[in-house]
């Protein structure tokens, strides 16, 4: 009897389980319809959204094109204010860029190398002065960039002004060092006739320009020509020598 | 009594079985074409969602571009005012 009831209960449970499984796995028509409705609604909403996005994109494309035109026109007007145009401004921009690069190159040099290239600093200064004289320099883009270059040039000039080049006298036997020969050296003046500059710049040590001693540290004054005082000193020296030679 | 019990039980089981079969068998199910229609609809929705993501990216890029160009244009207007001022001071 008990066995009989157990079998019956098991069968009933199996049936309920199978029914549940069957209904859970398979969709009935009503559920299908609900799904179709749901996805159809989603599709319609998404399609509308795409239409709206496309419209926004088209509108922005046209706005972007109009802004390009407005920008070109405004730039022409800006360059027109200083009596120039886009082509000339392009050329001017290249020259400003060249000056910027030159200034940056010089800024990277060691003090010793900078002294050797002092003339380039002066050339750059003149070039930038020329650029400032062009009305295009009033345009903020150029004004700001040239101001930055000017600051670099000022810094370079300060560095140069603070540098005192020196030369240590070697032996006559080995280096043939005299004021004439020192002055003739490429890295000094590259001009023997400027020897009085060294003499006058080192009056504390050099009493007689014909006598310099090994190991002296001589200051090398800047410049590529003799000052009035140096010329006078040189004349006196040559006259004295002439008298000595004449006697 | 025993026989009666057995009969009632057998009848109950048979009734339960028949009802279940009828419930499962008689509920209407969508056919293959309808299931395909639903699957196509789902794919279409997925594709549209992907397209929207792409379009939104495109729109954002254009918005950025327009904002940048507007700012550039405003800067030119400001520059013009500065140049006029500098010319006046020259």
The predicted-structure confidence for A58-87, as pLDDT tens digits, reads as follows 999 999 999 999 999 999 999 999 999 999
Counting the structural domains of chain B, the total is 1
Q: Find chain A residues with C-beta within 8 A of B2's C-beta.
A: 1
The predicted-structure confidence for A210-240, as pLDDT tens digits, reads as follows 999 999 999 998 888 898 989 999 999 999 8
Distance CA A244, CA A42 (A): 115
Distance CA A187, CA B64 (A): 57
Rounded (5°) CA angle A124-A166-A207? 125
**Do residue B79 and residue A27 have CB atoms under 8 angstroms apart?**
no
User: Which of A41, A65, A46 has the alpha carbon at shortest distance from B55?
Assistant: A46
* Contact between A243 and A210 (Cβ < 8 Å): no
Instruction: Tell me whether 0.85 is exceeded by the ipTM.
Output: no
Residue in B2, B6, B69 closest to A67 by CB: B69
Chain A contact present for B54, CB below 8 A: no
Chain A contact present for B27, CB below 8 A: yes
Handedness of CA B30, B33, B34, B40 (dihedral sign): positive
User: Which of A90, A210, A105 has the alpha carbon at shortest distance from A149?
Assistant: A105
Three-state SS across A168-224? ECCCHHHHCCCHHHHHHCCCCCCCHHHHHHHHHHCCCCCCCCCCCCCCCEEEECCCC
CB proximity under 8 Å: A 169-208 to B:
none
Chain A contact present for B58, CB below 8 A: yes
A194, burial (CB in 10 Å: exposed 0-12, middle 13-18, buried 19+): buried
pTM of structure: 0.60
Q: How many A-B residue pairs are in contact by the CB < 8 A criterion?
A: 126
């Amino acid at each position: 009897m008990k066995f009989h009831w157990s079998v019956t209960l098991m069968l009933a449970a199996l049936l309920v389980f199978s029914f549940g499984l069957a209904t859970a796995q398979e969709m009935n028509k009503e559920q299908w319809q609900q799904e179709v409705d749901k996805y159809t609604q989603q599709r319609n909403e998404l399609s509308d959204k795409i239409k709206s996005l496309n419209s926004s994109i088209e509108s922005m494309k046209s706005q972007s094109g109009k802004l390009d035109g407005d920008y070109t026109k405004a730039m022409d007007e800006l360059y027109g204010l200083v009596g120039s145009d886009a082509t000339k401004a392009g050329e001017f921009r290249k020259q400003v860029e060249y000056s910027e690069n030159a200034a940056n190159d010089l800024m990277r040099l060691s003090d010793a190398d900078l002294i050797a290239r002092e003339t380039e600093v002066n050339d750059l200064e003149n070039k930038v002065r020329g650029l400032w004289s062009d009305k295009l320099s009033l345009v903020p883009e150029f004004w700001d960039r040239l101001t930055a270059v000017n600051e670099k040039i000022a810094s370079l000039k300060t560095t140069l002004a603070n540098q005192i080049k020196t030369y240590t006298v070697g032996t006559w036997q080995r280096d043939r060092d005299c004021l004439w020969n020192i002055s003739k050296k490429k890295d000094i003046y590259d001009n023997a006739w400027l020897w009085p500059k060294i003499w006058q710049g080192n009056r504390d040590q050099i009493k007689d320009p014909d006598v310099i001693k090994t190991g002296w540290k001589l200051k090398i004054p800047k410049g590529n020509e003799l000052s009035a005082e140096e010329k006078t000193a040189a004349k006196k020296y040559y006259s004295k020598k002439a008298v000595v030679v004449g006697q | 009594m025993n026989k009666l019990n057995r009969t009632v039980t057998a009848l109950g089981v048979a009734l339960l079985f028949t009802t279940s079969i009828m419930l499962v068998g008689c509920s209407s199910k969508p056919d293959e074409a309808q299931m395909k229609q639903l699957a196509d609809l789902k794919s279409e929705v997925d594709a549209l969602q992907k397209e929207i993501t792409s379009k939104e990216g495109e729109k954002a890029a254009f918005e950025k571009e327009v904002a940048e160009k507007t700012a550039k244009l405003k800067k030119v207007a400001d520059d013009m005012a500065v140049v006029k001022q500098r010319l006046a001071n020259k």
